[in-house]
Amino acid sequence: MPRPQGTSTKLERPPRPLWNGHSYAHAIVQTVRQPLLVLDRRLRVKSTNRAFCETFRASPEETVGRLVYELGNGQWDIPKLRQFLEEILPHGGGFEDFEVEHDFPTVGRKTMLLNARRLRQDGARAELLLLAVEDITERKQAEEALRESEERFRTLYESSLDGIAAADLDGYIMECNQAYAEMLGYTREELRGIRFQDLTPSKWHALNADFVRLVMDQGYPNVFEKEYVKRDGAVFPISLRSWRINDKAGKPVGIWSIVRDITERKRAEEDLRELKDALEGRVAELDAFAYSVSHDLKEPLRAIEAFGSFVLEDYGDRLDEQGREYLARLAAASVRMQRLIDDLLALSRASRHSRPSRVDIGPILREVVEWMRPQIEGRSATVEVEERLPDVAADSTQVEQIFRNLIGNGLKFNQSERPHVRVGFKGKEGRMGVLYVQDNGIGIEPQYHERIFGMFQRLHRREEYDGTGAGLAIVKRVVEYLGGRIWVESEAGAGSTFFVALPLWTKDAVSQKREAA
Ligand code: ADP
């Protein structure tokens, strides 16, 4: 630049522009974080910025001087772009937000927003084109994902069999699905001006207000059962799950509720309750009946026994052998009748007088074995009780009754030279502990595995094995009363294993009990 001429003795430097035009533009282009291309009017690349090179993995050497369509081995030879640049651009000053979706060999499928602006340099004939490329692939994908999720939500919302509704802070319904409107007999439009409270019978208002307060305080879903009133005035029970709606800033703006008509469930529950009450009543009646009949039968039986023995004592010498035998049979029959009646009494008592508590089975079993010692030794038998036995939630007398019966049967229905009964713990099944009583006795054919638990059901004549056939019926009733289950695995001649599942006494139950104490 020529030095300015002047009269001043002081050499004055003219103000120098901070930027010359080109480097100023160049600096902007380089700094912008959006990929940019500067093209000449023949669409040759004049320059690119760093963002462009990084995004499309190109170097300035590979790009500058080339036709835009040649970039990256023709990657930019996109028909739609070519059409725009060649046909549309020459007629206008530029274009905005032109969306192009294209598969780039180097960087994959991309959606780009192109903006072009013609740059005229004053005085210069050369005309430049600034092409800004915005990679909106991720935004597009996010939008698409959002659209899909919105569509999924809509489908679920609209096709839900449960009613779904949103209300504002005053309880006015902002929106609801078809199921909600149908449940209440309104149209969706009508519901928009109605408040939740208007749909709730007044007796529920206080509880409803408490529930709403809870939902607003806690924010997460809460469940509540109340009633709704339909448009025609009919009242029906519902269960609802509600949660707070917050705006972007986290400020509560309303409540979402999912509402289910539970008329059918309530009716079924009611029927079941009635049935249960009726059944319990019938069972109690039957028990009372069995109890009183057995009681009443005992008296005439005692009379038969007494008069039988009087006849034998006072007239025995006047009877012949046959007469005495008849009398002896009469006496035996009445003893047996006595036992049957006692068993009936025991059955009617099996589901009474017990409150489950923690029962340690081990000591009870050892005591049972001790009591049965004479019977065991008389048969040269052994009874083995495993060490590891669980605590169950039961009644100790009933547990004793169960195992006395099962061990007794294992010894009785046994023809081995050395009868052996083993009692142990098979393991847990859910909240149940399964115990077993195994013998090396005569076994039971599979077709009788159910029948033997029936009252007075026996598989043998009394002459072969003594008994009334009441033992297992009583055991089954006791086990079921305690919430458990009994079954047998056996084959004829191969011994039997009786399994008894009883509710386990859990640690929770123990600590709860301690706390209660
Ligand atoms: P009881 O012992 O008075 O006969 P139970 O109700 O205890 O009556 O048993 C019913 C029937 O089941 C028995 O008569 C017997 O046929 C069969 N039974 C029970 N326990 C066993 C066992 N451990 N081995 C073989 N059969 C058995």
Query: pLDDT confidence of 148, banded at 50, 70, 90?
Result: very high
Give the whole-number percent of the chain exceeding pLDDT 90: 41
- Position 354 scores a pLDDT of 62
* Residue 441 contacts residue 410 (beta carbons within 8 Å): yes
pLDDT score at 159: 93
Q: Is 66 exposed, middle or buried (0-12, 13-18, 19+ CB in 10 A)?
A: middle
Please check the confidence at residue 461 and state whether its pLDDT lies above 60. yes
| Cα angle, residue 433 at apex, residues 428 and 434 outer, rounded to 5° | 90
- Burial-class residue 379 by CB neighbours within 10 Å (0-12, 13-18, 19+): middle
First to last CA, the chain: 105
C-alpha 26 to ligand 1 mean position (Å): 104
Mean pLDDT of the chain: 85
pLDDT in tens, 305-345: 889 889 988 998 999 999 988 988 888 888 888 888 888 78
413 C-alpha to center of ligand 1: Å? 7
Spell out the long-range contacts of 11-19 with Cβ–Cβ below 8 A and sequence spacing 24 or more. none
Q: Which atom of ligand 1 is nearest to the CA of 473?
A: 6
Going by pLDDT thresholds of 50, 70 and 90, the confidence category of residue 158 is very high
Ligand 1 pocket residues where CB is under 6 Å: 409-410, 413, 439, 441-444, 452, 457-460, 467-473, 496
Mean pLDDT value of segment 350-379: 85
Write the CB contacts of 115 (distance below 8 Å, at least 6 apart in sequence).
94, 95, 96, 97, 98, 131, 132, 134
Residue that wins the pLDDT comparison between 341 and 348 = 341
Residue 175, pLDDT score: 94
Residue partners of 62: CB distance under 8 A and separation at least 6: 71, 72
Residue among 469, 454, 461, 474 at smallest CA distance from 340: 469
Which numbered atom of ligand 1 lies nearest the CA of 405? 7
Which residue has better confidence, 307 or 509?
307
Decide: helix, strand or coil at residue 439.
strand
pLDDT of residue 496 exceeding 90, the answer is yes
Cα of 356 vs centre of ligand 1, distance in Å, is 27
Alpha carbon of 405 to ligand 1 centroid (Å):
9
Residue type, 449: H
Residue 20, pLDDT score: 52
Q: How many CA atoms lie within 13 A of 193 on its CB side?
A: 3
Which residue CA neighbors atom 14 of ligand 1 most closely?
Answer: 458
Average pLDDT, integer, range 258-285: 91
Q: How many other C-beta atoms lie within 10 A of the C-beta of residue 85?
A: 21
Per-residue pLDDT tens digits for 73-132: 777 888 878 887 777 666 666 777 888 888 887 778 888 888 888 776 655 556 788 888
CB 486 within 8 A of CB 479: yes
Give how far the C-alpha of residue 202 lies from the chain's centroid of Cα atoms, to the nearest Å: 34
Residue among 375, 416, 444, 499 whose CB has most ligand 1 atoms within 8 A, to mutate: 444
Higher-scoring residue by pLDDT: 289, 514: 289
- Tokens 């079941």 correspond to 272
Counting ligand 1 atoms within 8 A of each CB, the residue from 347, 437, 472 with the most, and so the one to mutate, is 472
Check pLDDT > 50 for residue 17.
Answer: no
Measured from the Cα of 457, ligand 1's closest atom is 10
The b/e string for 100-132 (b: 16+ C-beta within 10 A; e otherwise) is bebebeeeeebbbbbbbeeeeeeeeeeebbbbb
pLDDT, tens only, 41-69: 788 888 888 888 888 787 878 888 888 88
Cα(381) to centroid(ligand 1), Å:
18
Identify the pLDDT of residue 73. 74
Say how many Å lie between the CA of residue 2 and the centre of ligand 1.
Answer: 129
pLDDT per residue as tens digits for the range 403-460: 999 999 999 999 999 999 999 999 999 899 999 999 999 999 999 999 999 878 888 8
289 is written with which tokens? 């009946």
| Span of 191-195, 348-352, 388-392, 394-398 with lowest mean pLDDT | 348-352
Residue 453 CA, ligand 1 centroid: distance in Å: 9
